[in-house]
Amino acid sequence: MSPHMTTWSFFSEHRDEIFGATLDHLTLVVIAMLIAILIGVPLGMFIVQRTALRTIALGIASIFQTIPSLALFGFLIPIPFIGGIGKRTAIVALVLYALLPILRNTYVGLTGIDPAVLEAAEAMGMTRAQILFRVRFPLALAVILAGIRTATIITIGVATIAAAIGAGGLGTFIFRGVALVSDALILAGAIPAALLALLADLLLGMLERKLKVT
C-alpha cells in the first residue's frame, strides 16, 4: 500500500475526529480574533493623537510578536488567572499575537488619510469625534481589515501550537504525528489548517476590496 493510500484511508476513517478538531480550532481562532479586534481597533483609534502612548503600545505589541509562539505558551502557563493548561491560556497567547497587525493597521489606516480631506473636515466645523468616526474611520476601514486578515492567518497557524498546552484543535494531530512519525497524522492536522487559512484569506480579501475607497 502506498503512503498516499494510508493517508487517504486515515482521513476517511477519522473523518469525524478531524472535523471535530477543525471546529475546535476555528472556535479558538474566532474567540481570539474577536477579543483582539475589540482591543486592537479601539486602542488604535485612541493612540492616533497621543504620540507617547502610541510608541509604548506599538512597542509592547511588537515585543509579543518577537517571542517564539511555543515559548509564549510556556511563559503563560504559570501565570495565575490567565495561565494554566487549556483553552484559556491559548486564547490569551493568540490575542497577544494578533494584536500587533490589528493595532498597527488601525493606526496606519487612521493616519494615512489625505491631509486635504482632514483639513476640509476641520474647517467645516466637524468636532474631533465626528472627524474620527465619520471621516477617518470609514476611510481607514479597508486598511484595518487588511490587518485583521493578516492577524487571522497568523492566528490559524499559531493555534496549531496551542495543542502543546492542551488547548485541542488541529495541532493535536500534528504533535501526535511528530511523536509517532506518522505523515498521515501530521497531514490530518496540517491540511485542514492550511485550508482554513486559505479560506479566511479569500473571504476577508473579498470584504476588504469591497470596502476600499479610492
Partner 1 sequence: MNTKTALSSKKHIEFRDVSFHINDILKRLIVSRITLEVPEGETLVLLGRSGSGKTTLLKLINGLLMPMEGEVLVEGRSTRDWDLIRLRRGIGYVIQDAGLFPHFTVAENVGLVPRLEKWDRCRTAARVGELLNLVGLDPTEFADRRPRELSGGQRQRVGVARALAADPPILLMDEPFGALDPVTRAELQREFSALARRLGKTIVFVTHDLREALLLASRIVLLEAGRIVANAAPQEFLRLDHPEVRAFTSSLDVSPGASA
Binders of partner 1 among 142-181, rule CB under 8 A? none
Closest approach of partner 1 to the CB of residue 134, in Å: 8
Residue listed under C-alpha cell 476640509? 120
- Which of 194, 34, 193 lies closest to 99 in space, CA to CA? 34
Q: Is 207 in the site for partner 1 (CB under 8 A)?
A: no
Q: Which stretch binds partner 1 (CB under 8 A): 52-60, 132-140, 150-158, 180-188?
A: 132-140
Query: HSE (CB half, 13 Å, CA atoms) of 50?
Result: 10
Q: Which stretch binds partner 1 (CB under 8 A): 26-34, 85-93, 114-122, 151-159?
A: 114-122
C-alpha grid cell, residue 42? 479601539
CA 214/CA 212 separation, integer angstroms: 6
Q: Binder to partner 1 among 27, 65, 111, 130 (CB under 8 A)?
A: 130
| Main-chain dihedrals φ then ψ at residue 182, nearest 5 degrees | -120, 110
Q: Is 121 in the site for partner 1 (CB under 8 A)?
A: yes
Q: Is 16 in the site for partner 1 (CB under 8 A)?
A: no
CA 183/CA 157 separation, integer angstroms: 18
- Contact residues toward partner 1 (CB under 8 A) are 114, 116-117, 119-127, 130, 135, 138-139, 213-214
